[in-house]
Structure formats: C-alpha cells, structure tokens
Chain A
C-alpha cells in the first residue's frame, strides 16, 4: 500500500477493506460468546471459580491472633483498629475492626503478619489475617462494611505462637461470610431500617401516639413561651440530645448545638447522630412547645419531622 491509490484505486481499497472487516465480524457471529451470566446462570458460584490468590475480603482467625498489631501498624491507610486490654495474667482483645469499605485490598497486612496458618484446601500456606475469595459486599450503609471480628460481649484472648509451628485454621471464607452477615445485621442504620419495618420497632414505638403524648407531658411543664434562648438551649441539651459531645452534628458540643437551635442559627434539628430518631423527635417537641403550639399540634409536627428524617 506504499503508493497512494488514485480515484479508482481508493474505491477498490475501500471495497476490499470493508469486505475484509465484514468477513471478520461474520466469522465472530458464529463463535461462542464469552459472556458469563453472573450472578444467576453460572455453573458454579463465582466465589469458587476465583484463583486461590484472589484478594477479596479480609478475615482474621481470632484463635491464632497474637494481638501484636503488626497489621494495624503496616496498613498504609489505617483501616484496622485493635484494642488490647490486660485481663489477669494474659492480654485480651476487646475490639478488632477492619473497615472493608476504606480498605484498598493491597495485602500488605497479610505480609506483615508474623503468624503462619494452613487452611484446608489451599495449596499455599497463608497467615492469621488473610484475604478470602469473598467479594460480594454491596450494602445500603457505608458503616456496615466495617467487619468486627470480636463479638461485643466476648473479648478474644491473645494466642501464644510457638516459633516454627503452623496452626490449622478453618477454610478461608467461612469467618468472612459470618462476620459480613453480622456486620450487616448490627450496623446502626440497618438497625434503624429494620426497626422501622419490624412490628413494634424502636422507631415505630417512638412514634406511637401514646408514647409521644407521654413524652409531651414530661416536657410540657419545663417548656414555656417565656423561656429565653439560654434556658431553652439548656432544656434541649438536657432533655433531648445524646450528651456525647461527639461532634457528629458539626457543633463542638451538645450544648453548643442546643444553643444554636434555641437562637435559631441552626435550622436542621435532626443532626444528632448518636441520639438518632429519639433526639430528633424530642428536639422538635421542645421547639414546637416553646413556640406556643398545643401539645397535640407539637406531637403531630414532631412525628412528621422524625418520620421524614429517619424513614
């Protein structure tokens, strides 16, 4: 093709190359397509088809974990949080959380873990903390991607590792699946969500009319229209907010948030994270009562606002 085709040459070249291209696509038309119909029409579940070194969710076998915090130290983005306490003679882990939502699945923690382990069905030995082939972790709330390997009430004792021995561990993936299930069930928003939909859930119970009426009766005497902003702020902070000064609402302390509401600087009354639905409802009740609304009116408005915010 070195010499440039003339007027008719161009037509011949165009015809031939177009025909060549169409021959290729027609040949492809009769070949087997390469699409794998994940997730429902695969011969085996996808997790089993992945290679052994696949870097999916992390899992920690708490029986062989020596609480040496090597993984927490070496993780480039600090997604591992371990709390160790002294209990009697040994050391005990009360908390071992890994934020899988923030983790970048690089595997550096596995390399820095000193404790080797041999899982059944694996060709190569792995470590106490290791990556599994689990990867399906879609959830509605970011915080439910934090895997908590230590149960709330059952701290795990630190394991004493003898040099040179390779302790056995369960098959890779079991612990990860269990922990993921627990994470989905126990995270704050999942609780809120399931509550709203379960009969007699906390939110539903909070918004049940009589509970609201009882709460209004408690608050009403303390809240009158003559209350100054300072006093009103004190009532809000005292009665409604979670008093944890956690800063989730964007204000340094609960008292500051309450003052801002009372003065009118802060419009949003639902920002108390720890307090959740209960705080939102109570703040609305106090503000409505302070504005001189009748108990019933205040109750209705508070319920409406809470439902809207915490649906």
Chain B
C-alpha cells in the first residue's frame, strides 16, 4: 500500500502544480486584458535602414488617407523620410541617401496637419509571437513599472511553461498507449494494473526513474554525459513553438516555420552523439555513430518532401500551409496531386528514421547494441531520452497532420465563422489531435510489425531510393503548380483521393478481414480464463 500512497501523493502534487500555474496565468491574462487602448502607430519594421531600403509602418486602425502627402519622422534621431500611404493603416517610407539606423525611438507619421505617434514603452523591433501574447505583454508593460523587455521575457516564459507542462504527460500517455497496442498486437494485454485500466503506468514509471540512482560511469566524460539528455529535450521542446494546434493555439507563427522545424530537430542528433561518445563504452559509441549517420542522411529526403508542400502552398509558415488546405479529405495536401502523395510517404518514413523508430531503431537495437547510446544512463537522466523519443512521435503526428492532412480545418467551418464563434476553435483542436493520434497509431503499429534495417541497407535506401524520388516530387510539384490550372488541380485531387485513399484502404481492409477469417482460436485449458477477465 505504501507504494500506491506515494503515487497518489505525486498525482495530487502534479495536479495542484498545474492548477496553480493555470490560475496564475488566468490572473495575469485578466489583468492584461484591461490594457489601455493601443497607441495609434502599432509597428514599424525593419528597424535598421540602409540607403534605398523601404520601411513599413503599421497603424492600429484605418487612420491614413491613401494618396495624401505623408512624412515619417524619427523623433529621437530627428530624421524625416518622405513616405506614401499604401493602405488605410499602412505607410511605406523610403530612405533617400546615407545609412539611417533606427534606435529605440518613437515614430510619428504626419499627413497634412494630423500627426500620429507610437507608444514609447512598446518596442516593436521584433515580431514576437501570436498577436494575443503580443497584446498581453504590451498590457503588462503598460500597467506595471519596469522595462518592457522584462515583461516580454515573462510572457515568453509563461508561453513556454504552458507548452512544456504537458510534454511529460503527453509522452507518458503515448508510452502507455504504445505498450497497450503492442500488447494487443502481440496477443498480450499490456499494462492494466496502475490506475484506471493501466493508464497511470507512465506516472509509476516516471516516479520509479526519479527514485532510481543516477550513475555516471567512472571514465565517462562527465560534463558531456550530463548535458546530453537536456539538449535532446531542448531540441524536442522547441519544435512545439511552430505547431498550429488550432486557429489561435499557436505559440509563434514564424514565417520560416518549416525551416525552423527542420533545424531544431537536428539538436537531437547532437545530443545522441554526445550521449553515445561520453558513455565511454564501445556499444554506446556504435549506437551514437549509427544514429548520427541515420538522422543526418534522412534529413535530406525529409526536407525535400517538406519543400514540395512549401512550393504547393507558396509559404513556409505553418499557419498558411494549414490555411491553404480545405477541410474535406480531397482538399488535403495529401491527395492534392500525385507528387504530394508520394512526398507524404517519403516524409513519413524519413521522419521514422529521424525519430529512431523501427524499422530504423538501429541506434538502440536491443539485439545488437543492448540499448545503444543510452545503455549507461540510469535514473532521471535516462528518463529524458525515452521522453524525447515519444514526444518525437507526437511531433511526427503533428507535422504530418498540419502538412498533409489539413491540420485543424473543420468541415463546413471557414475562417469567417471561426472569427465569430471562438468555441469552434476547440473543435479544430480536437480534429487536429485526432489526426495526430491516427498517425501516432500507424507509427506504433509499424514498430510492432517490421524487423530492423542493417546500417548499410538503411544508408543505401536513403541515398538510392528516397533522395531521387524526393527530387522527382519536388521538381514535379514545381511543374504541377506552374502548369496545371486550378480547376484541373481540383479534379486531380478528387481522383487521387478516390484511387489512393479509398482504393488502397479498401484493399487493406479486405486483407485484414481475410487474416481474421482464417485464424481459428483454440482453447485447451480455459479453466484459468484468458485476457481481461
């Protein structure tokens, strides 16, 4: 009973922490909402101006009259630039000669005798993150003393906390789900004792690993050894910034979303290599080397597949990619045209390779390298590596959903109705999570079916099969977007959905039913009762 008591205590503690964080943030958000109305000039970018460059000044409302003669002056520097109002709330100023450097000064726009200035305490030299967070930080900066950047930092940390808090829980739930799926696929049951039907097993494992001794091998390179897991966690955590879970639930809609995504996942490679090398064991070294070769070489086909989608949508921002897709399956990128259909499979398999998932789990191949790079780890430091791996599966699901399966788009709901009814956003979030979990199920399902590649076969597959096909898809996509008119594209989308989607899955369901029909269950000694009696 002692053990169950500690688990209960930990659960209550965790829930309380979450609740506390939630209340604190809700309090701040409420305080933030009552911020004073915004300064007329909202934003002026870019901040450093060279000769001939143009600067965009945005107002917080439709203030300017197009065509009127306008001038933009930097009050602190005393410089005035001729400008042109291109829209009711936008003015473009051009720097005639010499390099103008804009420091932290306010900007005033004068048209005729009207003058509008920007708010001194709201530095807008960087487009921070989602507008709601942006306004929240502004509100704090306006109401309380202290430099504006401090409140920006606080807002960022709060956003990070919101995103990081559920990560261990998400990873834990996926671990338990995987163990249950692998159970039923291996004619076993999987965890069913801790918590309701086994769903609290992750908490028990987490606690156990917390209590286990954290050993650093004697001749290990101690600093690298200790730093490796945290680097991997950082790499995995950063990817959550650009993932659009729903219309509003996105931390920062970076214009270079996909690029950021790809570059951040390579941090995991560095950490695995550090872990493998610093454990000072030959087996770990082999594991580390294998994973470096694997992830680096599969980065290429993965990024090419992403580029195919980027060319289709015309932008790298995850927000726009989701916006460009419709809600119905035939409007998804997956069935948009044959090239994206192939690109999906290339991306999916490369993502498996980058996540060290079977059939590419060479770095921690049980039968050869015992546990590969994380053989020497134990205790809490060890628990970070599996946590990163299972969060990575969730990220694979999320990226797959937003790129190929139409992200959070809900049928019958377009952008306008979404503005009006905010609760529809939650439905979008649910749709996103459902598609994400579908991909996660496939990832887990593959692990419990396929054997493992050998190192040279894995490399050969990448360089002779995946990269050529990825290039073909990329170039094909360029030609497709350039040549095929939009009506024909829609028809192709429908056809692709019919053949690829419905046709393939119908064949597959018939194979599954055939397997189920042939197997005759046998019971020799049913006195004990099988399965979940």
Contacts and interface: CB of A to CB of B under 8 A. Distances in A.
Interface of A: 11, 18-38, 41-44, 46, 48-49, 51
- Give the 7 A-B CB pairs with smallest separation, nearest first: A27-B515, A49-B527, A23-B511, A43-B529, A42-B528, A33-B531, A36-B528
Contact of A34 (B465, B511, B514, B530): B530
B508 interface: yes
B525 to A, nearest CB: 6
A33 B528 contact: no
A243 to B, nearest CB: 45
Contact of A46 (B185, B186, B528): B528
A11 to B, nearest CB: 7
Range class of the B interface residue count: 20 to 34
B211 interface: no
A276 to B, nearest CB: 32
Interface string B7-44: 00000000000000000000000000000000000000
Interface of B: 181, 183-189, 445-446, 448-450, 465, 508, 511-516, 519, 521, 525, 527-533
B532 A33 contact: yes
Given A28-B515, A34-B188, A49-B525, 20 more contacts: A20-B511, A21-B449, A24-B449, A26-B445, A26-B515, A27-B513, A27-B519, A29-B181, A31-B187, A32-B531, A33-B183, A33-B188, A33-B531, A34-B530, A35-B530, A43-B527, A43-B528, A44-B528, A48-B527, A49-B528
A256 B133 CA distance: 85
Contacts of A37: 189, 533
A27 B514 CA distance: 9
A23 B513 CA distance: 9
A24 B187 CA distance: 12
Nearest to B530: A34
Contacts of B530: 32-36
A33 B184 contact: yes
13 contacts: A11-B465, A23-B508, A33-B188, A34-B188, A35-B183, A35-B530, A35-B531, A36-B529, A37-B533, A38-B528, A41-B529, A44-B528, A49-B525
A246 B321 CA distance: 85
A22 B446 CA distance: 7
Q: SS class of chain B's interface: helix, strand, loop or mixed?
A: loop
B533 A29 contact: no
A32 B449 contact: no
B449 A27 contact: no
Given A29-B181, A33-B531, A42-B528, A23 B512 contact: yes
Given A18-B450, A24-B515, A29 B184 contact: yes
B329 to A, nearest CB: 20
Contacts of A25: 185, 445, 448-449
Nearest to B513: A27
Contacts of B446: 22
B189 A35 contact: yes
Given A31-B187, A33-B188, A43 B511 contact: no
A188 to B, nearest CB: 30
Nearest to B532: A33
A26 B445 CA distance: 8
Nearest to B464: A7
Contact of A32 (B448, B513, B521, B525): B521
A33 B189 contact: yes
A26 to B, nearest CB: 5
Contacts of A29: 181, 184-185
A92 B529 CA distance: 47
Contacts of A24: 449, 515
Contacts of B449: 18, 21-22, 24-25
Contact of A31 (B181, B511, B521, B529): B521
A11 B465 CA distance: 9
Contacts of B528: 36, 38, 42-44, 46, 49
Contacts of B521: 31-32
A89 B519 CA distance: 69
B256 to A, nearest CB: 33
Contacts of A26: 185, 445, 512, 515
A66 B320 CA distance: 93
B445 A22 contact: yes
Contacts of A32: 521, 530-531
A18 B453 CA distance: 13
B511 A19 contact: yes
A37 B405 CA distance: 41
A37 B531 CA distance: 7
Contacts of B448: 25
A237 to B, nearest CB: 44
Contacts of A33: 183-184, 187-189, 530-532
A56 to B, nearest CB: 16
Nearest to B524: A51
A30 B516 contact: yes
Contacts of B189: 33, 35, 37
A49 B530 CA distance: 13
A28 B532 CA distance: 16
A23 B518 CA distance: 13
B368 to A, nearest CB: 21
Contacts of B527: 43-44, 48-49
A246 to B, nearest CB: 40
A186 B187 CA distance: 43
Nearest to B465: A11
B515 A21 contact: no
A34 to B, nearest CB: 5
Nearest to B516: A27
Q: Which residue of A31, A42, A51 has the most chain B CB atoms within 10 A of its CB atom?
A: A31
